Each structure stands twice: as structure tokens, then as C-alpha cells.
Chain A
Amino acid sequence: MRLLIIEDDREAAAYLVKAFREAGHAVDHAGDGLDGYALAREGDYDVLIVDRMLPRLDGLSLVRSLREQAIATPVLILSALGQVDDRVKGLRAGGDDYLPKPYAFSELLARTEVLARRRTAATGQSEATAYRVGDLELDRLSHRVTRAGREIVLQPREFRLLEYLMRHAGQVVTRTMLLEHVWDYHFDPQTNVIDVHVSRLRAKIDRGFEHPMIQTVRGAGYVIRPDEPQLS
């Protein structure tokens, strides 16, 4: 995917550019709000990563201006500001996701990839009513889950967890992302609460099959993939 990082801290920007390139993405960088705005208007990006505090044009105004110009490129806002309402303000201004500093790069990468995917999916068709990953199928209308034709009974929350994982099949989703989208809370789970839920789901999905589909990515989160050898 093609990314634009608008960040005035040179060191942080250089790190992000390098890390995203290593993850296989094309990255442009703008050092202030006005440059970033100009690039974002002209370039065809999949995701914009925008710092909130920028010289010449602050992050929120930048996003607002883009939205007024009907530029719908997904925006992830980065912020080091110390307000409880930061997230709300960021999303209200037109941001699609929000990540407070300090953050783990794996978290940023996972969220950016999800945003990029959402864009391509959105331009294609409306949201699917059923997901299929390998031999695992999930029907959102009948709330039925089967693997290799065998029905799997899930609790409502487990169903939503699996639904989220399958919607982002092949992409790493972090624990915070799961808490945000499955439970609708945005705090940091302090212990391995999410892990326990995932392992319960995993027990139901993968029991009796040779290859586990729900895989743990160390230091990042989880990914659901068709039957493949597990990453070490």
C-alpha cells in the first residue's frame, strides 16, 4: 500500500518510513501540515498517518480540510496530547483511527493495514454477509459457523471475535483493536484478558484439526489464515 506520513519529528518520521518500507509498503513523508495537505490532495494514498501537532497547519485542521474537499482517504491520527477527549476530537474531525503516543510500531502497522484494506473493500462492494477463510465459514445473517462442514457453536461474543478476525483474514489484529471492535472499549487491557478469549475461541475452531487457523503473532497480536504451517 501507499502511505503518507505527516510528522514533524524527523527522527520519528525516519523510523516510521524505514519500518513501513521494511514491511513492504511505499511511503512518502511530509514534515509540516501544509506540505502534507498538498501531498495528500494530489497523491493517491491508501492511508494517511497524521501527527496532531504539526507546524503551519495542525493535524486536525488538515484532516478537516481534506474532508471538506471530499478526499476520503483513511486517516490515522497520532497524538501525544494529554486529553481524555483526544480520540473523540480526532475522530470527530474526520479521522478514521487514532493512536496515542507512545505506541508500539506493531500496533500502528496493524491498524494502518486494516485501514488500507477497508478502503479497497469499501470501493469494491458493500460489506460481505459471509466470510470464508480456508475451510472455515461464517454467516453473519444466520449466525452460523462451520469448519469443513462441521457446525461450531459459539457464544455471541466469540462470534463477534471470530467475525472481526475473519473480516481481516491474513492481517494482524492487535489486542487493543479486538477490544475496540469486539467490546467497544478503548482502554488498554492490563492483563491477558483478550488472550483468554482468543484461546477459548481457538479451542473451538481449531480443535481436532491439524493446523491451527488462529495464530499468535508475538509482540503484535493475532491473525487468522487458511491452514498453513504456524509461524514460529
Chain B
Amino acid sequence: MSPSASPPDGLIARIGKIFRTTAFKLSLAYLVLFAVLASLGLGYVAWNARRVLDDQIVSTIDAEINGLSEQYTAGGLRRLIAVVERRAGEPGASLYLVTTPAGEHIVGNVSRLPADILARPGQYESFYGRGSEADSSGHSAIMRVFNLAGGFRLVVGRDTEERDRLRAAIGNTFGSSLALVVLLGVLGGWFVASRVLKRVDDMTETTRTIMAGDLDGRLRVGGAGDELDRLAQNLNLMLERIGELMRGMKEVSDNIAHDLKTPLTRLRNRADEALRTAETPEALRAAMEGVIEDSDGLIRVFNALLTIARLEAGNAPESVSRFDAGAVAREVAELYEPLAEDRGLSLTVDIEPDLILDGNRELVGQAIANRLDNAIKYGARSAPSDPQAITVAAARADGKIRLTVADRGPGIPEAERDRVLDRFVRLDAARTRPGFGLGLSLVAAVARLHGGSLDLADNAPGLAVTLSLPARAA
């Protein structure tokens, strides 16, 4: 379509779009169905009304005839003529006529009749001319023709004008009702279709911008709580999740870029420098050893990343065993104790007996080790005179085994506590120190895998990290 599409084209396209919508098709189907049903209903009413009116006319005629026939039986033709003459003079819809055998008018308020009606007795619905009126074509009536003795004929009838008026009124009502139904149906369908269409169009538009890269865009939720709102809500939740994953991915790749580029560059430079400047085999050897050391560091990062990725994949490890978490905490504390001491930190252990749980001993051990590693790395305070203690505590509380490692370091501001659990996140203050920011995210992954939780709290001063794991049911 050309960019300068004129408004009528746009309108046609818009109408065409409405015609193609599900909402429109549905409302059209309902409209047709409703119109058919309404026609049937109204038609039945009209038909019934007409029948009732006809019956009424016929029974009135029957009553007249009964009366006249009594007069005729009692007083003969003369009496009949007298009665007819009197009745014909009265106003009303009743018609009377007595003719000679030749069809000549003797008495009655009907002046003219189609000739063939008089020829045979029976019931007819026909036009007739009335008494004194000049214009005689405008009336219609139901009438009955009888042969009397001597070839005289009696016609008794009733004008149907009233009935026809009523019938016309019913017909009018019928037509206008149907027209109204159709009109309302069309309007309603159009309204619903365009409303729904507008919202779907909005959604399409929003999703298009989101697809174009604006992951922060969200679908509008109307608040009516209908299907479209629920759909929009679910799509928004999905977008939220995708956004989270994307942010995670971005963060990870950013940090990988940063944290792996540094050692890789150092590695490359070391090799490059050795190649250019090392003149003795010894110097070359020393350089190569440095290169190997750097590579080992990189391998370590990759392994840590793989471990976390495996844990976050979330499949429960087969190597679940029953073990004493307190013993694990003690072993790991003992493993780290000399290192802490070398850094001028004291390490105290406070562990309850019999903290039995079902889980992966290796991973719980690694989690405590990672946290201790952190505590030793960041737990040292700037003022060396401060008491510098790391405590490792293990206790049972509310069916959980709580493994706490607390340091007296600078701690982590409350606002940052959630963030440090993410992969590779090192608070800016820690960026200058060695490490890869994988420590606590691994601890968190271990907690999740065991159905436990990880809490970071203020140790006033310092940081207390508690790994809560479900204890074995007693």
C-alpha cells in the first residue's frame, strides 16, 4: 500500500478488517439467528391474530344467520325482508342483502356484488359496494350466500375493514421490530467488534514494539477482569520473566566479558612478553609457569560457572546422602582456619550435635567453603585494632538446620543484599580484589537445590549469611 493512502482507503481497510474479525462474524451469526427467531415468533402471533379475528367475524355472521333463519321460518320471506330492512338501516359492519332469483336488489345495505358470488351459495371473501355510496370498490367483506325458496337469495356478511386495520397494525409492528432488531444487532456487533478489535490491535502494537527490542513495554490491562485482561496479564507476567532472564543473561555476559577478559589479557600479555624479551631458558620457563597459573585460574572460573549452571538447571542430584551438617561445617571451618589465622582473623565454631539432613554433602560443604572464603576475603576491617572474628554456627530451628557464617567486615548495605546473590556481582568496593563474584550465587543455588533458603543479615558490624536447609524429618 502506498504511504499516501487516502482516508477512504483507510476506512475501507478498517471496515474490511472489522468484517474479518471473529467478533464481527460471531455477532453477525447471532444477528441472523435472532432475526429468524424473531420473524418466526412475530409471524406466528400475526397469523394467530388473523385467525382469531376471522373466526370472530364468521361466528358473528353465524349468529346473524341463526336469527334471520328463525324469522324466515316463522314469517316467511316477507318477515325476513322486513327484518333485513330494519337491520340494514342500523349502523355497523354487518351486511345484508335479499335479491330476486334474477339477482335484483330487494332489500339490504349492499348495493353491488360480483355477479358470480350470487350464482352459488357458500362463503366468500370479496369486494362489495355499500348502500348509498357512490364509490363502491373500497370495501371488503366476508359473506355467506343462501338460496331461499323460490330462487330468492339471502346474503349475510360482515365488513372486514376493522380486521384489515388490525392486521396492518400487526404487520407494521412486525416489520419495525425486525428492523430494530437488525439495526441493534448490527450496531452492537460493530461496537463489540471494534472495541475488541481495538484492544487486540493495541496488544498487537505493543507486542510489536516489544519484539523490536523494547522489553520494558507492557500490555495495557483494562481492569474489567475479562479474558483479554487475563491474557494481557499473563503476557505481562511472561514478559516480566523474559525480562528477568534477559537481564540475567546480559549481566552474566557483561561480567564474563569483564571478569574473563582481564585474566585472558594478562595471560596473553605474559606469553607475548616472554616471547619478545625472555633470553634465557630460565626466564622463558618462569614466564610459561606464570601462563599456566593464569590458565588454571581461568579453568577455575569456568568450573565454578559450570557448577552453578548445573545447580540452577535444578535437577535433584542422585548423590543424596544422609549426613551431619554440623560435622561438615566443622570440617570446612577447620579447612579454612589456618588461612583465616594467617590473615589475622580468628575463627570460632559453635555447632550443635546431630544436625542430620538428607542432601548433597559435597555441595553443602562447598557452599560453606565459598562463604568462608568470602568472609576471609572481605571480612578484614580497615582498622586492625578492631576485634576481627569469623563465627561458624550450626543450629536447629523450626525443622530447619541453620548454617551461619558471620564476619565483622564492612558488611553489605541492605539494598544490595539481593543483588550480591547474582552471578558475577561484586559490589564496586570489591572489584579491585581478587575473586569472581561467583561465591554467594553458588551458595544460593545450593540452597535452592535443597529446598532451603539463604538469608543475608546485618551482623552489626559485618555480614551474617545463613543457609537454612530442611532437616531430616525426625
- Is there a chain B Cβ closer than 8 Å to A61's Cβ? no
Asked if residues B366 and A187 are in contact (CB atoms below 8 Å), the reply is: yes
Asked if residues A188 and B304 are in contact (CB atoms below 8 Å), the reply is: yes
Asked if residues B318 and A89 are in contact (CB atoms below 8 Å), the reply is: yes
Among A85, A191, A193, A200, contact of B319 (Cβ-Cβ < 8 Å): A85
- Is there a chain B Cβ closer than 8 Å to A197's Cβ? yes
- Most chain-B Cβ atoms within 10 A of its Cβ — which of A185, A186, A192, A200? A185
**How far does the alpha carbon of A103 sit from the alpha carbon of B302 in the complex, in Å?**
10
Among B289, B292, B310, contact of A104 (Cβ-Cβ < 8 Å): B292
- Is there a chain B Cβ closer than 8 Å to A125's Cβ? no
Known contacts A188-B304, A191-B339; is A232 also within 8 Å of B282 by CB? yes
CB interface residues, A 140-188, toward B, < 8 Å: 157, 179, 183, 185-188
Asked if residues A218 and B293 are in contact (CB atoms below 8 Å), the reply is: yes
**How far does the alpha carbon of A190 sit from the alpha carbon of B371 in the complex, in Å?**
11
- Is there a chain B Cβ closer than 8 Å to A106's Cβ? yes
Asked if residues A219 and B299 are in contact (CB atoms below 8 Å), the reply is: no
**How far does the alpha carbon of A85 sit from the alpha carbon of B307 in the complex, in Å?**
11
**Interchain nearest-CB distance for B368 vs A (Å):** 10
Instruction: Tell me which residues across on chain A come within 8 A of B303, comparing CB atoms.
Output: 100, 102, 188
Q: How many residues of B contact A (CB 8 A)?
A: 41
**Residue of A with least CB distance to B366:** A187
- Is there a chain B Cβ closer than 8 Å to A83's Cβ? yes
Asked if residues B304 and A185 are in contact (CB atoms below 8 Å), the reply is: no
Asked if residues B370 and A85 are in contact (CB atoms below 8 Å), the reply is: no
Among B293, B300, B317, B332, contact of A85 (Cβ-Cβ < 8 Å): B317
**Residue of B with least CB distance to A189:** B369
CB interface residues, A 85-119, toward B, < 8 Å: 85, 87-89, 100, 102-104, 106
Known contacts A83-B310, A183-B331, A232-B282; is A219 also within 8 Å of B293 by CB? yes
Instruction: Tell me which residues across on chain B come within 8 A of A196, comparing CB atoms.
Output: 338-339, 342
- Is there a chain B Cβ closer than 8 Å to A128's Cβ? no
CB interface residues, B 307-325, toward A, < 8 Å: 307, 309-311, 313, 315, 317-319
Among B315, B338, B365, contact of A185 (Cβ-Cβ < 8 Å): B365
**How far does the alpha carbon of A189 sit from the alpha carbon of B262 in the complex, in Å?**
21
Among A83, A157, A187, A192, contact of B339 (Cβ-Cβ < 8 Å): A192
Instruction: Tell me which residues across on chain A come within 8 A of B292, comparing CB atoms.
Output: 104, 106, 218-219
Asked if residues A84 and B311 are in contact (CB atoms below 8 Å), the reply is: yes
Asked if residues A191 and B377 are in contact (CB atoms below 8 Å), the reply is: yes
Instruction: Tell me which residues across on chain B come within 8 A of A100, comparing CB atoms.
Output: 303, 306
Asked if residues A193 and B339 are in contact (CB atoms below 8 Å), the reply is: yes
Instruction: Tell me which residues across on chain B come within 8 A of A232, comparing CB atoms.
Output: 282
Instruction: Tell me which residues across on chain B come within 8 A of A190, comparing CB atoms.
Output: 300, 304, 369-370, 373, 435, 439
- Is there a chain B Cβ closer than 8 Å to A82's Cβ? yes
- Is there a chain A Cβ closer than 8 Å to B231's Cβ? no
- Is there a chain A Cβ closer than 8 Å to B335's Cβ? yes
**Residue of B with least CB distance to A198:** B338
Instruction: Tell me which residues across on chain B come within 8 A of A200, comparing CB atoms.
Output: 338
Instruction: Tell me which residues across on chain B come within 8 A of A189, comparing CB atoms.
Output: 335, 369
Known contacts A82-B306, A84-B310, A196-B338; is A103 also within 8 Å of B299 by CB? yes
Among A82, A88, A89, A179, contact of B309 (Cβ-Cβ < 8 Å): A82
Instruction: Tell me which residues across on chain A come within 8 A of B339, comparing CB atoms.
Output: 191-193, 196
| Per-position 1/0 for B371-392, Cβ under 8 A of A | 0010011000000000000000
Instruction: Tell me which residues across on chain B come within 8 A of A102, comparing CB atoms.
Output: 299, 302-303
**Residue of A with least CB distance to B439:** A190
**Interchain nearest-CB distance for A203 vs B (Å):** 11
Asked if residues A197 and B373 are in contact (CB atoms below 8 Å), the reply is: no
**Interchain nearest-CB distance for A180 vs B (Å):** 10
| Per-position 1/0 for B272-290, Cβ under 8 A of A | 0000000000100000010
Q: Which 7 A-B pairs have the closest CB atoms?
A: A219-B292, A187-B366, A88-B319, A196-B338, A84-B317, A218-B289, A85-B318
Could you tell me which B residues sit within 8 Å of A by CB distance?
Answer: 282, 289, 292-293, 295-296, 299-300, 302-304, 306-307, 309-311, 313, 315, 317-319, 331-332, 334-336, 338-339, 342, 360, 362-363, 365-366, 369-370, 373, 376-377, 435, 439
List 11 interface pairs A-B (beta carbons < 8 Å), by A numbering. Answer: A82-B310, A84-B310, A104-B296, A179-B335, A183-B331, A185-B331, A187-B362, A187-B366, A191-B339, A192-B339, A218-B292
Additional A-B contacts beyond A193-B336, A218-B292 (4; CB < 8 A): A84-B360, A100-B306, A102-B302, A183-B331
